[in-house]
Structure 1
């Protein structure tokens, strides 16, 4: 083959236009070990273009045993590399279809492929937001408290996530301007402690902000004042006569001569103390003889308890009447009751002025 023919062959060879077929009357089959001589020895094709040499000059370039590698099909995808959320999975292929041999080229391209994968969403644990600004002080002066808050929404926890741990509220002591300390105005005087005689009245005042200052002392002076008060003069006295039975063994005196202060009740025969103090009490019953009865006895009672006995025994059978009486001094408190009771043979008591009951306040108690 002439030089021109060889040049044409090499140009076609390096341009990639020659694969197999007939070149200048030489029949060469691609991949076979039948070389298109003498063109294979031109321009050192075994070194200059190995890939073309494998196709056209295998025998000449001693490449008949050379096998380039080729990929097998891709394997199955592997598991996702996470248990929740977004992850990655991969698959591989092998350079064994066929494997490279006798200096053949390895497979071209990636041995491994990756792809994203999604598993069930991951649990979301709650997170605190930042603290809010401190609120206003609870006291306009002196010592108070301030508060700030935070919320568990950064992020919000999912139903299977953990909540936030810790406090959502924070408090601290705050000190504003110093509070003024001093007495408030006096209240009005209370009513008199007694309805008659001499008693007491009271008025009071409160200390303004006594505990809000750590420096100032509390108010000096008394929070309460007292003064005496005089109402109308105290008086209590009564005199009642006559006889009428009352209850099981008591008597009453229905005819009222004097009832100063209305403390005696003629319907029950009971004197109820309104003004505490010292009293003189006198009771007299007029009696007459009856068959086999020569005396009638009663008691002056204090709150239902026998205190002084009215008793007289004339020791005779005279049908004329006689009297029994008793007088005592009692110190009575408000609502104490004086009456006449525990009488025997009440049916033999005269219903006349011979039968009487009286009491008089001789000295009221001073409060």
Structure 2
């Protein structure tokens, strides 16, 4: 009968670490090892056969996100087509995420109605020929009003003028 000496258990090499459970934000990975059991009354392996480790603790990229559009600003004109604009803000990006895409400002036409135009007098016509050659006649001139348009005010002032002419006495009176 031969006597065998006891052989303690021996650890095998660790397996490679598993892939991290997440690519960012803090995950876990694992590895394990096997024990060659001891023989002839030898001691078993001591220690752990499984390890867990944290991995990829860096923050995950966060893409930029547009916040709501602002209210439209004041129109640049009260009539005759002006413009107004509004804005929005991109929140982010963070930790290497992508920037917002698209415009941060929009413009649009506003107050497209015609502006009121007040009437304006044209120039006076020439004086008419005097109604008499002597003894005090009269002559006349007039003017026209251009407009009003789109609710403007009418021309104010005289449309016609009359004046005395050839006031000298007629011969033989």
Class of the TM-score when normalised by the shorter of the 2 chains: 0.3 to 0.5
**Max radius of gyration: which structure?**
1
Structure with higher RCO (Cα < 8 A, 6+ apart): 2
**Whose helix proportion is higher, 1 or 2?**
1
**Whose strand proportion is higher, 1 or 2?**
1
